[in-house]
Amino acid sequence: RKRKRKKRQDAAREQAETDTRRNQGLLGAGMERWMGNQKREREREAGKTIRTRSRVTLLTPPSRDFLANAAQRRYAISPDRAARGGLPSK
């Protein structure tokens, strides 16, 4: 019982961290996915079994135009603004 609560707290804390980073505009949509993959890679190397959602896993940092596209799709912002890297804070 206690373990489950701890797990939930850890997950919430982690989510809060990515949210604040995203709001500071340091992570576009796609960048955070890459961060998650880095974490997964580390866990894989540590010999943990990992579950992945069936989405494309990025093993290299996403390119600027990929980020711009992702930002456009996710936040519906204009291409030129996406290219400049300005992400609206959610």
Which are the contacts of 72, defined by CB distance < 8 A and separation ≥ 6? 78, 79, 82
Would the pTM count as exceeding 0.75?
no
CA dist., res. 56 & res. 36, Å (int):
12
CA dist., res. 55 & res. 22, Å (int):
20
Could you read off the pLDDT of 20-79 as tens digits, one per residue?
Answer: 665 555 555 556 666 666 676 776 666 655 555 544 555 566 666 666 666 666 666 565
